Structure 1
Amino acid sequence: MNSIPLSATELGNLWQAYREKSMLLRVLEYFILKSTEDETKEILRNAYTIESKNEEKIRTIFKNADAVIPNAFNESDVNKNAPQLFDDNYAIMYVRTMGKVLSGLYTLHEGMSYRQDIRDLYMEFTTDMQHIYSKTTEHLLDKGVLPRPPIVPMPKEVDFINDISYTNGLNPFRKKRPLNTVEIGLVYQSLETNLAGMRLMNGFEQVAKESDVKKYFTRGKELAKEIVSMMSNHLLDSDIPAPSTWAGMVTDSTIPPFSDKLMMYNTSLLSNFGLGSNSIGAAFSFRSDLLLNMGSIMAKTYDFAKDGGKILIKYGWLEEPPSASNRA
């Protein structure tokens, strides 16, 4: 047992990580049961084994610190008898997206940790999530359902930006320069993430029980569609075709496999990740129109996430993080 107490940041980040893993395990349980392909089932089972082990590690730390374990998500949040809502390709695409999201969060959490065992824990979490991401990416590429980013000519010499016109994009009377490779990468990742999110919202909208939750997922789907359209246009403006093949389909089932609480939390997690991703996109973009669109996306995503929090509070689904002592 470590004699150094958990710091506030370590406790808060572990609390978040436990809830994320608890949610992901419930989704994986359902996906494994409904999977129809042996290779898909194997990848999902491997991810489940990894995440079960890591969830237990957090539980042990909480127990050793005499800290209450979050309620998070349990058997009541998944209906294993519900028909397949997402096909096998989307199940893998979902796990791939979560691998991308969580590996980024765990790298951030490691940088906020001071105890050696907690730093080591996040390094393990990051490595595990990168392994899951790699396996799911390779599977989708092998099946031909995950397009690769565009290819551009290799540079032959070093160039420098020597004209302010490089940032042009909003003036309709001046020609926009083509996107540079950094911008292409940011646009492409936004496009890919929101296409996956659009299908997730479509499925959640289809099975949600509460009317305001259903409307919220419809709003999320429309927001994702708007972002996909915007990012596709940026590629097309630079004579780069937007990808036409994407992994996964939503079935016509209307029987909910997950509780509204779990689906809302999942949406909240992805919305917050989207806010971070778009802020990075804005920071590394030079063209003014791209900056403006990234800012618009951030504003709309923030409003969407904020309204999602209100729904979580309304139904008593928002578990309160550990806090400082109230000495008032």
Structure 2
Amino acid sequence: MQHHPALTASEVAALWNAYMQNTMASCIIQHFSSVNEDEDNTELIQKALYTCNFVVNGVKKIFEAENHAVPIGFSDKDVNLKVPRVYSDLFTLRYIKYMAAFGTSAAAAILELLARNDVRQFFTETSILFINLYNDGTDLLLKKGAFIRSPTMPPMNKTEFLQNESFLSGLLGRHRPLTAIELSHICKNTETNSIGRTFLIGFAQTAQLPEVRKYMDRGSALAEKQETVFRDILLDDGMPLPSTWDSTISKSTDSPFSDKLMMFHTAQLNMISVTAYGAAIAGSMRMDLGAHYTRLMTEILQYSNDGVKFMIEKGWMEQPPQNVDREALKNRH
């Protein structure tokens, strides 16, 4: 007899998250495709749409085979392809590269929790698609001279071991130079805040509800503040600042996206930032950096929590799959 085990909680969570994230990303990239004027971007945009559709259709197939409810996610009701552009074609390219990097890490991170062969195979193929999309996006950015590189460091002359605990705090009242690992986290988090800030400025300009516009304004101000913290750390260390992300935003106030999609996308950006800050804390040995990340993470969590409450009030927050409420079953009469 062939053994066909039921989906585990980890597998359901991974599939559900992938469906939600990729139906959302598909809407955004469809808008980018409809306003694209850069022929160099056309093939990459189509690859991005193919990747999103591969994930969405793959999740749907597995869920339907298991008689598991397919999430609502996002659809053509959440995107308007008849409105003018909000963001530049260069921002489109950078967003696809950013989305591909996140998709790659998310698919790889979940693999160790997957048991069923078909689910592992699905996420393996998903990882390959996102890796290829990332490499294609990076190659195109390099070709255009628009790839944002992290600062360079002089090569090490020799290897050595730490001799005292001052490496964790400072040297005679001053902070020691950043390690390459700490520097990489700072550059990544600067990039995340930059791309998030650009998105939120456009969201604030085009959102329908005043509450959503206010929330987006608050988020863009928070991202700018946190980006400044990272830039100040680089300046204090005598490191050159990375180029700013292209933040060209049109004057259009016609929204290509529903308020529901914009709020969900903001929640995803918050989640990515919190995850990245957690990794940065683990990879940063300088105590002041840990203090910075802890404070900034707390700010994002508060902002994110307020957004989730608003989405619940509006009936926009789709409930993730959850375990059976045994107490409710026992008290049903």
* TM-score normalised per structure 1: 0.96
Q: Which runs of 5+ in 1 are unaligned?
A: none
Question: 1:213 aligns to what SS in structure 2?
Answer: helix
After superposition, give the CA deviation of every residue in 1:207-248 in whole Å (9 maximum; x if it has no partner): 111111111111110111011101111111111111234235
Q: 1:121, CA displacement in angstroms?
A: 1.1
- Give 5+ residue unaligned stretches, structure 2: 328-333
Instruction: Let me know the Cα RMSD of the aligned residues.
Output: 1.6
- Tell me, yes or no, if the aligned pair for 1:145 and 1:245 is still in contact at 8 Å: no
Letter in 2 for 1:267: T
Task: Check whether the contact 2:194–2:244 (CA below 8 A) recurs between aligned residues.
Answer: no
Q: Give the corresponding residue for 1:217.
A: 216
| Equivalent position of 1:132 in the other structure | 133
Offset from partner CA, 1:252-311 (integer Å, 9 cap, x none):
111100001011111111111111110110111111211110111111111111111111
Partner of 1:59: 60
Task: Give the drift of 1:2.
Answer: 7.7
Give 1:253's aligned residue: 252
- The CA distance in 2 between the partners of 1:30 and 1:2, in whole Å, is 44
Other structure's SS at 1:197 match = helix
Q: 1:201: Cα distance to partner?
A: 0.8
Does the 8 Å CA contact 1:82/1:256 hold for their aligned counterparts?
Answer: yes
Q: CA deviation at 1:319?
A: 0.6
- Summarize the alignment of residues 1-328 of structure 1 with structure 2, pairs less than 5 Å apart: 3-169=4-170, 174-328=173-327
**Deviating 4+ runs (over 3 angstroms):** none
SS in 1 for 2:241: coil
Identical columns (%):
29
The residue identity in structure 1 corresponding to 2:62 is I
- Separation in 2, partners of 1:252, 1:137: 28
| 1:104-156 per-position Cα deviation (integer Å, ceiling 9, x unaligned) | 21112212211111111111111111111111122122212222111111112
Contact 2:18 2:55 survives alignment (8 Å)? no
Alignment partners' CA distance in 2, 1:21 and 1:253 = 26
- Aligned to 2:195, the other structure's residue is in SS state helix
Amino acid in the other structure paired with 2:109: L
Measure how far apart 1:48 and its partner are: 0.7
Structure 1 window deviating more from structure 2 (71-80 vs 103-112): it is 103-112
Question: Across the two proteins, how many residue pairs are aligned to each other?
Answer: 326
Retained in 2: the 8 A contact 1:146–1:246? Answer: no
Return the alpha-carbon distance in structure 1 between the equivalents of residues 278 and 189 of structure 2.
11
- The answer to whether the 8 A contact 1:22-1:73 is kept is yes
**1:88–1:248 CA contact under 8 A, matched in 2:** no
